[in-house]
Amino acid sequence: MSGYTGTARFYDFIYGNQADYWVEWVTVFVAGKVMELKLQQWEERNNRERLACEARWNREQEKRERFLATWIGRHLYPPYAWVVHGCFGMPLFKFCHWVASACDHVGRAIDRAGDNLAPYGDPIRAERRRRTWSEMFDGED
């Protein structure tokens, strides 16, 4: 950046207990040196929703940790998770993805076949379209 001349913007989001803050700085560089640094925006934002989401996430994590600390969580859950998610979950996901992809290919093939059978589209719409085109270009000569 030794030869850079121009502006750069720096952003930050500061989490607080009472409010959150959005901060934006603009810096002017001339030949790689900072000539001006000014605060462009300092916005205070309500943080109730973020704090509520964090509290909910923390409660869920604590609940999960308590479960994993039990005998069932330590000994029965890992094999269950391996079987359900590893043996059935991923193959089932891949199968569903394959079915969706196959349906997409079939739909595209049917669309291409329809275009080949009726190259000008639906006859009813085509007649309506012809009327519109003729109305548009009748006045030009």
Does residue 74 belong to any structural domain of this protein? yes
For residues 41 and 11, membership in a common domain is answered with: yes
Residue 55 resides in a domain: yes
What's the token pair of residue 115? 């275009």
| Residue 69 resides in a domain | yes
Q: What is the pTM of this model?
A: 0.47
Considering its fold, how many domains does the chain have in total?
2
- List, for residues 39-92, the tens digit of each pLDDT value: 999 999 999 999 999 999 999 999 999 999 999 999 999 998 888 888 888 888
- Answer yes or no: are the C-beta atoms of 10 and 25 closer than 8 Å: yes
pLDDT digit string, tens, across residues 18-54 = 899 999 999 999 988 889 999 999 999 999 999 999 9
Structural contact between residues 40 and 31, judged by C-beta atoms closer than 8 angstroms: no
Are residues 17 and 43 part of one domain? yes
C-alpha atoms less than 13 angstroms from C-alpha of 28 in its C-beta half-sphere: 7
Would you say residue 115 lies in a domain? Answer: no
Verify that 71 and 28 share a domain, yes or no: no
Range of the domain at 21: 6-47
